[in-house]
Homo-oligomer: A and B are copies of this chain.
Amino acid sequence: MTDRHDRILTSSGFSVSPESPIHADNPVPTPRASPPDIVRCASMELVVTDLAASRRFYVDVLDLVVTEEDEQTVHLRSMEEFIHHNLVLRQGPVAAVAAFSYRVRTPEDLDKAVAFYTELGCRTERRAEGWTKGVGDSVRVIDPLGFPYEFFHDVEHVERLAWRYDLHTPGALVRLDHFNQVTPDVPRAVNFMQSLGFRVTEDIQDDDGVVYAAWMRRKPTVHDTAMTGGDGPRMHHVAFATHEKHNILAICDKLGALRRSDCIERGPGRHGVSNAFYLYLRDPDGHRVEIYTQDYYTGDPDNPVVTWDVHDNQRRDWWGNPVVPSWYTEASLVLDLDGNPQPVVARTDESEMAVTIGADGFSYTRPEAGSEPPPEHEQGEYKLGHQL
């Protein structure tokens, strides 16, 4: 771990560290068992309360490809995917996330997953026939943070439609990019994910060392998942990638044409964290979906870890556009292995929204104004807010 005093301030306003700058005061014990070798985030299983409405959103609006469906489920994939699905919609009584699913390198990594989580005292359940269509032998666990994680290697291959431009639409989604999880204690969560083999790429902190969010990766992008500080365990969003920025704008344009613009929650914009271009949507159940493009390569072993000041109002939107409060406060429930919602534990650390928006919080556009609330006309975070 890099001490904060060893961080180097860059000309872009954030700092970089050679290693993760996050320390957990209350860590999950690190198992002696080796973790499974996780290749990438691969799919999410979403419980939806109106399958027809969700299908319209994901298939007719977002143009994901239906690999297979029946009356209770729809299995969807992105245009460049060759495994059976990246998203499963399952009809159910309560909108929630049933699984964050990761692909592991070998079948034997399932044994490792069972051993790893069993040593931690977590409930695990392995099904040789898989938990969803298209996937074989797989393990589901409730991890120490309360999230339902799935691991699988065996999966049905389907045709990669990357070259099928006759099927691409203006907003074509080409890959599942990442998950984002809400958890009360970010350092504890990061520490646990590190024991699972994840590496930190970016985080948001304040001068007191409070960590508001952190991004972690297996594949060499900015993240396979992120931990956002808040009441949890909850699912903040699942993100799909497009090739270019205009694809994301086209999704907005289409939503306008369909008079469904109210499902645009935030954006489009440029993230500070990740440097990616983004858009946040809410599906008919309120599940949040990010559309995302153009972060950067992180695969080197000494990839510099980026730390943003929580008061930097370009950290969440590089253009300083305000973050809507719902984006901070709302998230999806997650389920236990019996399909019951996990209880939500309140965050006790500082709230990013509270410290950056409104009368008590502040943000700055330029670093020289960082030590105190800036003059009102410079309060980029309040571009909209302070006028209402």
Q: For A260, what are the chain B residues with a Cβ–Cβ distance below 8 Å?
A: 365
- A-side interface residues toward B, CB under 8 Å? 10-14, 16, 39-40, 80, 82-83, 103, 105-106, 157, 159-160, 162-170, 172, 174-175, 219-220, 243-246, 249-250, 252-262, 264-265, 268, 270, 272, 275, 277, 294, 296-297, 299-304, 313-314, 318-322, 324-326, 357-358, 365-367, 377-380, 383-385, 387-388
Q: Evaluate contact between B10 and A159: CB separation under 8 angstroms.
A: yes
Copies in the complex: 4
| Chain B neighbourhood of A250, CB < 8 A | 165, 168
Closest to A312 in B: B259
From B12, B105, B300, A163 is in contact (CB under 8 Å) with B12
Knowing that A80-B297, A165-B170, A264-B380 touch, tell me 8 more A-B residue pairs with CB under 8 angstroms: A12-B163, A163-B256, A165-B254, A219-B220, A244-B245, A256-B270, A262-B377, A385-B388
A169's partner among B13, B169, B320 (CB-CB below 8 A) is B169
Q: Is the interface of A mostly helix, strand, loop or mixed?
A: loop
Given the interface contacts A220-B220, A262-B380, does A165 sit within 8 Å of B253 by beta carbon? yes
Q: Are A314 and B256 in contact (CB under 8 A)?
A: yes
For A270, A277, A357, the residue with the greatest tally of chain B CB atoms inside 10 Å of its CB is A270
- Inter-chain CA distance A124–B283, complex, in Å, is 58
A376, chain B: closest CB distance, angstroms: 11
